[in-house]
């Protein structure tokens, strides 16, 4: 466990050094702040514009960081030959992979909390300035739903990091970037596979489609941004089951990465 935490800590420190990370964060903050300008010309739809734009910014930047840093996670170590250094110490391969995953997940957690906090301040500002309008149009500011939406976005990042890690453990960063992106898009529209399956008459094909549906990540289930604006029930049961699904799926991905990485030869 100690080794895993050491690798995780190093991954976090390394990510902190990455300039790309800061430029992306800066972009996110600018996007969140710009929501204030858009909100001011939105015909009194302050909280909707601020939340829509802000939550989208957090999601987009989080996904981009997960994909870009995740796809380089393992490959960078191999490319720079630092992997020899690591494995010359008493570090097992699975500890390395799990540590890498946890390190990036923690980086994302810190970033998401930071972005979420800035957005929360802006949402709070709109509440203080335009609370009456917000209650009139939307019935309230739904702060709890707002935090839950950010939490669900973070769960999605955990899965995307896992996907990136799988591809990163056997192919080049460019290819894993492409594969991760494709699987991400499939995951965002996974419901379509089921709709298609339900319309297919051939039982074998339908069965096959249902299996595919159950295997691909259901990323659209992590989108509760609408509830953050309009309210709605994100009950504890939903949070529990969605979290459980995210944890199980992320475990599958990490486990797959370990299997692939165990078989990999370094020259």
Q: How far is residue 156's CA from residue 64's CA, in Å, rounded to a whole number?
A: 12
DSSP tag of 259: H
Residue 60 burial (10 A CB sphere; 0-12, 13-18, 19+): middle
**145-169 exposure pattern, b = at least 16 Cβ within 10 A, e = fewer:** bbebbbbbbbbbbbbbbbbbbbbbb
Closest CA to 129 of 34, 228, 40: 40
CB nearer to another protein: give 36 or 238. Answer: 238
151 sits near another protein (criterion: CB under 8 A) = no
Are the C-beta atoms of 107 and 69 separated by less than 8 Å?
A: yes
Binding mask 77-116 for another protein (x = CB under 8 A): ---------------xxx----------------------
Q: How far is residue 221's CA from residue 219's CA, in Å, rounded to a whole number?
A: 5
Helix/strand number for the chain, H first, E second: 11, 0
Least distance from C-beta 90 to another protein, angstroms?
13
Least distance from C-beta 223 to another protein, angstroms?
8
Figure out which of the listed residues 26, 143, 192, 208 binds another protein, where binding follows CB under 8 A: 192
Closest CA to 51 of 35, 63, 31, 64: 35
CB nearer to another protein: give 94 or 120. Answer: 94
Closest CA to 8 of 228, 210, 161: 161
Q: How far is residue 83's CA from residue 98's CA, in Å, rounded to a whole number?
A: 15
Selected range binding another protein among 45-53, 100-108, 127-135, 253-261, rule: CB under 8 A? 253-261
Figure out which of the listed residues 154, 173, 221, 228 binds another protein, where binding follows CB under 8 A: 221
Figure out which of the listed residues 46, 96, 184, 249 binds another protein, where binding follows CB under 8 A: 249
CA angle 204, 206, 209 (to 5 degrees): 110
130 sits near another protein (criterion: CB under 8 A) = no
By CB under 8 A, how many residues form the interface with another protein? 36
208 sits near another protein (criterion: CB under 8 A) = no
198 sits near another protein (criterion: CB under 8 A) = yes
207 sits near another protein (criterion: CB under 8 A) = no
Figure out which of the listed residues 125, 181, 196, 230 binds another protein, where binding follows CB under 8 A: 196
256 sits near another protein (criterion: CB under 8 A) = yes
Residues that bind another protein (CB under 8 A): 92-94, 188-189, 191-192, 194-196, 198-199, 214-215, 218, 220-221, 223, 226, 235, 237-238, 241-242, 244-245, 248-249, 251-252, 255-256, 258-259, 262-263
């Amino acid at each position: 466990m100690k080794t895993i935490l050491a690798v995780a800590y190093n991954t976090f420190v390394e990510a902190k050094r990455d300039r790309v990370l800061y430029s992306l964060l800066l972009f996110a903050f600018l996007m969140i702040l710009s929501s204030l300008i858009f909100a001011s010309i939105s015909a009194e739809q302050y909280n909707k514009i601020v939340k829509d734009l802000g939550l989208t910014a957090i999601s987009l930047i989080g996904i981009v960081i997960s994909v870009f840093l995740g796809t380089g996670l393992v490959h960078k170590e191999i490319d720079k030959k630092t992997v020899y250094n690591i494995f010359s110490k008493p570090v097992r391969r699975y500890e390395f992979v799990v540590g890498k995953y946890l390190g990036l997940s923690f980086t994302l957690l810190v970033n998401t909390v930071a972005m979420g906090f800035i957005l929360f301040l802006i949402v709070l500002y709109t509440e203080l300035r335009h609370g009456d309008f917000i209650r009139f149009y939307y019935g309230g500011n739904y702060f709890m739903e707002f935090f839950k939406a950010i939490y669900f976005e973070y769960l999605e990042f955990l899965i995307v990091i896992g996907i990136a890690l799988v591809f990163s453990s056997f192919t080049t960063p460019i290819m894993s970037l492409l594969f991760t992106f494709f699987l991400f898009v499939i995951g965002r529209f996974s419901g379509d596979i089921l709709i298609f399956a339900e319309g297919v008459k051939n039982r074998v094909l339908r069965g096959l489609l249902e299996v595919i549906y159950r295997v691909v990540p259901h990323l659209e289930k992590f989108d509760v941004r609408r509830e953050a604006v309009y309210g709605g029930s994100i009950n504890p049961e939903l949070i529990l089951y969605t979290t459980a699904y995210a944890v199980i799926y992320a475990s599958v991905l990490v486990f797959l990465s370990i299997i692939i990485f165990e078989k990999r030869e370094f020259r």
